[in-house]
Amino acid sequence: ITPSQRLLDRIHVARGFTAYQHYGAVDNLPTTVNQSIQKSTAVTDTSGRQSTVQNENSSPHTPSLIVAPAVDAQYRSDDTLREQHAETLQARTLARLATYADSYDVPVLVTRSTIDEFTVPVATAANHHLECEQTRMGPRL
């Protein structure tokens, strides 16, 4: 249940079904953000043409949170990747996410599907760590 449709309109979802698509979605985040900003600040004038508002009262609609769940899963399960290439793509994805955290000044929530040698870089890239434990009452952080 959401308090308003406007809140849902601000949520953007991208998904990749392969490691390359996942990396591409992460890599294209700035372009998507810029397009969203342009679309949200476009105003239709009286002649029906759109113009972009450029004044101090317009607020940029940059992300307030970036979420990358199970960031290792696509790179781990893609049968078309050699292990070294999977590690490289995952490292590039983590580097991009870290860059976005700095440039947009927003938190990036990253989860991993399992804890093993392949996901050590995910833990290393994180500033804070939360553990989720399954209890009989449900998940506990």
Distance CA(34)–CA(103), nearest Å, equals 13
Instruction: Give how many domains the chain has, as a whole number.
Output: 1
CATH number of the CATH domain containing 86: 3.40.50.300
Compute the average pLDDT of residues 10-32: 88
Q: What's residue 98's pLDDT?
A: 95
* Predicted local distance difference test score (pLDDT) of residue 52: 46
Query: For 118-125, which contacts have Cβ atoms below 8 Å and span 24 or more sequence positions?
Result: 118/72, 118/75, 118/76, 118/86, 118/87, 118/90, 119/72, 121/87, 121/90, 121/91, 121/94, 122/71, 122/72, 122/90, 122/94, 125/94, 125/97, 125/98
pTM above 0.85, yes or no: no
Give pLDDT, residue 139. Answer: 87
Mean residue pLDDT across the chain: 83
Across-strand partners of 66?
A: 108
Range of the domain at 52: 5-140
User: pLDDT for 26-82, tens place per residue?
Assistant: 999 988 888 877 877 775 445 555 444 444 433 456 788 899 999 999 898 878 788
